[in-house]
Amino acid sequence: MQQRQKPKKQTPLWYIGAAAMFILSQLKTLIPLLKFSKFGGTFLSMLISVWFYAMFYTWKFAVGFVFLLLVHEMGHVFAARQKGLPVSAPMFIPFLGALISMKQHPRDAATEAYVAIGGPVLGTVGALVLYGVALYSGSPLFYSLAYFGFFLNLLNLLPIHPLDGGRISTAVTRWLWLVGLIGGLVVIFYLKSILFFIIWAMFAYDLYKKFVSKKKAAQTRVMGASFEVAADPLMEQGYLIPGPEHKRDLPFLTYSDLEGQQHVKVYWEGLDFTGSIPLMEQGLIKRVHVIQLERKQKEDGLYLMIHCQVEYTKYENDAYYDVSPATRWKYGIAYLLLAAFLFVMMREVHEVPGLRLR
């Protein structure tokens, strides 16, 4: 008698592969969607996140969870736009949450805190809506979603960079970072999360660089840049082209554009050359010098590649943290009240009779 084989249970890797094949098969449909609107990428990343979360939870929970993440991120978007800061649409990364990228950084700690607290505030509202639905319907699903909504927003209020609480702390007091350093260990022990441990470790290392090895952080940094100059017109005018080992210091000046990007403008009068070098970070320029010259023969003539180095020290703007006492109190009280409210709501949901939270 032939034995009937049991169907094999598909592994999560199978689902991931199936998801990839589905996305590839639908590229013709998805690409026009992405071009049609800047929210196309948000929509696609939401679908992918729902797909991944649904491998471990139910579809309904996955949709609700991604909805909570979207509401939280839109809080940051609305707050940034109120302050006149351009930001991208939210992008979702499975098991890492969601994020927005800022096209222009805040000019002071108070603005940074305003944008940061916008996420937990609107995120709390979203969790409260689901809690209201749970009270009305008695649905365990909505109770679970509300609980996780309160929990995620409370977790985000930990005073650890790059979490929202770490950015709010800049407008309250940077001593809260020490609280986050110690409290983060408790959370790591409770959650047993490798991802959260990585976030905490990066935060601890950043604090070490800022406050323990501040002298080392002020060491000279180097940035390279290259420029291409047509050599034939220079030789026709009688300019003497230096050899490949030629080295010299170049005169320079610095300026910032309207978006706050710092540039270094360099000159070489002997070659009738002017160039601009954008810096990746704000810095105090010490020296700009030529380290090598390279001749390149192209179809339209001879070109000279000028390889330069910019030596600078990173500029630490302590005025960024200058916040009035009234503003510190305002953000401090709002921060504590929001954290206390989220903690109370978590306990409230947890004590619902007969509810099992997983």
Q: DSSP 3-state assignment of 264? A: strand
Q: DSSP 3-state assignment of 35? A: helix
Domain span holding position 82: 13-214+325-350
Order of strands, sheet of 283-298, starting from the edge strand that comes earlier in the sequence? 221-230, 301-314, 283-298, 248-249
* 285 found inside a domain: yes
How far is CA 181 from each of CA 96, 203, 329, 338, rounded to the nearest angstrom?
A: 21, 8, 22, 20
Q: How far is the first Cα of the chain from the last one, in angstroms, to the nearest whole number?
A: 44
Residues 188 and 300 grouped into a single domain = no
Per-residue pLDDT of the chain (358 residues; tens, 9 = 90+): 444 444 444 444 444 445 444 444 544 454 454 444 556 677 787 788 888 888 888 888 888 888 999 999 999 999 999 988 888 778 877 777 777 777 777 888 899 999 999 999 999 999 999 999 999 988 889 999 999 999 999 999 999 988 999 999 989 988 898 888 888 888 888 888 787 888 888 888 888 877 766 555 457 788 888 888 888 888 888 777 788 888 888 888 888 877 667 888 888 887 778 888 888 777 788 888 888 888 888 888 888 888 888 988 876 666 778 888 999 999 999 999 999 999 999 999 988 876 776 5
List the structure tokens of 219.
């060491």
* 3 found inside a domain: no
pLDDT in tens, 204-214: 888 887 776 65
* 318 found inside a domain: no
Going by C-alpha positions, the residue among 22, 72, 78 that lies closest to residue 52 is 22
Residues 122 and 236 grouped into a single domain = no
Query: How far is Cα 53 from Cα 12, in angstroms, rounded to an integer?
Result: 11
Residues 185 and 247 grouped into a single domain = no
* 4 found inside a domain: no
Residues 249 and 274 grouped into a single domain = yes
Which pLDDT score is estimated for 16?
45
Residues 46 and 109 grouped into a single domain = yes
* 300 found inside a domain: yes
Burial class (CB in 10 A: 0-12, 13-18, 19+), 216: exposed
> Considering its fold, how many domains does the chain have in total?
2
Query: How far is Cα 330 from Cα 164, in angstroms, rounded to an integer?
Result: 16
Residues 172 and 53 grouped into a single domain = yes
Percentage with pLDDT > 90 across the chain: 24
Alpha helices in 55-193 (DSSP H): 59-82, 109-137, 140-156, 164-172, 176-191
Residues 196 and 306 grouped into a single domain = no
Residues 284 and 337 grouped into a single domain = no
Which pLDDT score is estimated for 90?
80
Percentage with pLDDT > 70 across the chain: 84
Residues 47 and 81 grouped into a single domain = yes
Residues 180 and 195 grouped into a single domain = yes
How far is CA 51 from each of CA 96, 219, 309, rounded to the nearest angstrom?
A: 14, 47, 48
Residues 199 and 289 grouped into a single domain = no
Residues 44 and 185 grouped into a single domain = yes
pLDDT in tens, 1-55: 444 444 444 444 444 445 444 444 544 454 454 444 556 677 787 788 888 888 8
* 5 found inside a domain: no
